[in-house]
Amino acid sequence: MSATENLVDFETALQTYDPVLGFEVHVELNTKTKMFSSAPNAFGDAPNTNVNEVDLGLPGVLPVVNKTAVESAIMIGLALNCQIAEKCGFARKNYFYPDTPKNFQTSQYDDPIAFDGFLDVELEDGEVFRVEIERAHMEEDAGKLTHMGGAAGRIQGADFSLVDYNRAGVPLIEIVTKPIVGAGTRAPEVAKAYVAAIREIVRNLGVSDARMERGNVRCDANVSLMRKDAEAFGTRTETKNVNSLRAVDHAVRFEISRQAGLLDAGESIIQETRHWHEDTRTTTSGRPKSDADDYRYFPEPDLVPIVTTAEWIEELRSRLPEPPAERRKRLKADWGYSDAEFRDVVNAGLLEAIEETIAAGATAAVARKWWMGEISRLAKNAEVEPTELGVTSATIIELNALIEAQKINDKIARQVLEYVIAGEGAPAEIVEKRGLAVVNDDSALGAAIDDAMAQMPDVVEKIKGGKLQAVGALIGPVMKATRGQADAGRVREIVLEKLGVDG
Ligand code: ADP
Ligand code: MG
C-alpha cells in the first residue's frame, strides 16, 4: 500500500496537474419485467424466485426485448440531449463468471441507442458546468454473488459463495461521459453534481427508483492527471462502485492525491480498476484493465435490431417532464425566494415538500417558514429527514390558519406542531383538547388585569402619570394568570382603557 503513503495534499496536487474525469453510471430501470424475459424485476424478494429459463440461459430459449425498457432508454437519451440511433442492435459481451449463467452479458457495442449528448450540471454556488455525454446504451444486469466466510464480504478468503439470479437480466442503462476536462479544483464537486443530476433526471422521468443505497444508480469513476503543460491525457484508473454522492466526491479526491504522489515520485499510473473503501475513504488496486480488453463481442443472433421511427421518438419526447434545472428556475421565480433561500431549500431536499404545501394552498413564505424552520429543527433533533416526521401540507395550512385567526400565537403553534408529530391529532383538535387557544375573552382577561393592577399600585400610578411603557410590568403577571394565552397587545389596550389613558 505504498500508494497511500505518498498522498499529495489535494490543493497542492492541483497546482501541478489538471484532473481528467470520466463516469460510467449504471441505471437500473423500474420496468415490471426484465430486459429480455418475462420474469419480474423486483427488489428484495427471496433469492432465485424472480428467475426464468431465459435469465438462466437454458438451451432452446429465446430472449425478447422489453419495449418499455427501450422507451426508457430513449427518454433518458433525450433528457441527456443525445442523438437517438435510427437503428441499433445488441451484442454478446462474453465472459465467464458465475454471476452470469449465460456466460455472456447481452449489451450494446458499437451502436448504442443514444449518443453525443450533454448535461448541464449546477454546482453549489449556482455555476453551471457542462458534461458531454458519449453514449447511453442498454444492457442487462448480472446476478448477485455473496461471498461467505471471508473478511468484508470479499471473495479472497471466502469459504463459499451464494448466488442470487433475481438481478440477472434486470434492465440497465449505462451512461458514459466523454472525458471531462477543466474542472480543476472543483473536480470532486463536479463529479458529485453530475451523478446527482443523473439520479434526479431518471427519478424525474419515472424510469428508475434511483435509490443509490439499493444499487439502482451505480457509478464507476475514471480519474487521471495530466501535467498542466502536457498535451495528452494521463493514464486513468477506474474506481468501481462508488455508490453514494459523498463517496463519488471522496473517491475522486483520493485518486487525485494518490496519483499525484506516484507521478511526483516519477512512477507511472497503472491502468486498472480500483476498489472503493467507504470506511477508510481510500481505493486499492483491483485488476489491470487495458482499453482493448477482449470480450469477443459479436452481434446477438437471437434479437432483431431496434428501429426507432421519428414518430416514436417525438411521441416519447412529448412525454418528457420539465427538465429539473428548468423546473427549479421556474419555482424560484414563482415563489419569490432569494438565491440563498432557494439554494438552502434545494440543499435541504425540501423542494418537493414545499411545492406540495404551496399547491395545497399555503403561501410560499408560510411553506418555507415551517419546512425550513420548526420542522427542520425537530427533524434534526430526531435525526430523521424533515419529510419523515409525518407533517402534512394540511397540518401546516391548519396551523397557519389558527395563527391568522389569532386563536394561537407563533409560540403555541410550534408546541402544537410537536403534539401533531407525537400523534395527538390535527392542530385545531389539539388546541381544543389542550385548551391552548389565546384568551381573547375580555371578561376573563379583565379579571386577570384587575388582579395585576391591584397588586402593583405603583405601576398603575406611573401609567397614569404618562409612563406608558410601565404597562410592560403588568403583562408578565397577566400572562402567568392566563397560562401564556393572553394577547399582549390586547392586555395593553384594556389597561389603558381602564385607566382612561390615551395609547
Ligand atoms: P471501459 O470499457 O474501460 O469502462 P468506457 O469507454 O466505458 O471504458 O469508459 C471510460 C470512461 O473513462 C469514459 O467516461 C471516458 O470518457 C473516460 N476516460 C477516457 N480516458 C480517460 C482519461 N485519460 N482520464 C479520465 N477519464 C478518461
Ligand atoms: Mg465501461
For the entire predicted model, the pTM comes to 0.78
Tell how far the Cα of 207 is from the centroid of ligand 1, in angstroms: 25
H-only helix segments in 233-335 = 245-264, 310-318, 324-335
User: What pLDDT shows up at residue 3?
Assistant: 46
394 and 460 assigned to the same domain: no
176 CB less than 6 Å from ligand 1? yes
Q: Do 209 and 234 have their domain in common?
A: yes
487 or 233, greater pLDDT: 233
pLDDT in tens, 390-439: 999 999 999 999 999 988 988 899 999 999 999 999 999 999 999 888 76
- Which residue intervals of 137-186 are DSSP H helices? none
Contact 396, 416 (CB under 8 A): no
Index of the ligand 1 atom closest to the CA of residue 233? 23
Q: Is 26 in the pocket of ligand 1 (CB under 6 A)?
A: no
Residues 243 and 180 in one domain: yes
- Residue 330: which domain range? 324-434
Give the distance (Å) from ligand 2 centre to CA of residue 174: 8
**Whose alpha carbon is nearest atom 4 of ligand 1?**
24
Do 120 and 165 have their domain in common? yes
> How many alpha carbons lie under 13 Å from residue 149 in its C-beta half-sphere?
7
User: Both 262 and 305 in a single domain?
Assistant: yes
Q: Out of 6-20, 267-281, 479-493, which region has the weakest mean confidence (pLDDT)?
A: 479-493
Whether 32 and 98 map to the same domain: the answer is yes
Is the shortest distance between the CB of 166 and ligand 1 below 6 Å? no
pLDDT, one tens digit per residue, over 362-400 is 999 999 999 999 999 999 999 888 998 999 999 999 999
CATH number at residue 471: 1.10.10.410
- CB distance 23 to ligand 1 below 6 Å: yes
Domain boundary among 434, 457, 477: 434
Of residues 66, 62, 82, the one with CA closest to residue 74: 82
Query: 75 and 165 share a domain?
Result: yes
* Judgement on whether residues 90 and 142 belong to the same structural domain of the protein: yes
Nearest residue (CA) to ligand 1, atom 10: 22
Residue pair 176/22 in contact (Cβ under 8 Å)? The answer is yes
Per-residue pLDDT tens for 4-15? 568 999 999 999
Do 174 and 49 share a structural domain? yes
Out of 315, 345, 378, pick the residue that ends a domain.
315
List pLDDT tens digits, range 289-336. Answer: 877 678 899 999 999 999 999 999 999 999 999 988 889 899 999 999
Please tell me the distance between residue 417's alpha carbon and the centre of ligand 1 in angstroms.
51
Is 115 near ligand 1, meaning CB less than 6 Å away? no
Q: Domain count for the chain, please give it.
A: 3
Please check whether residues 252 and 145 belong to one and the same domain.
yes
Q: What percent of the chain has pLDDT over 90?
A: 76
Same domain, 255 and 351: no
Q: What pLDDT is attached to residue 292? A: 65
- Domain shared by 257 and 351, yes or no: no
Pocket test residue of 176, 218, 219, 287 for ligand 1, highest count of atoms within 8 A of CB: 176
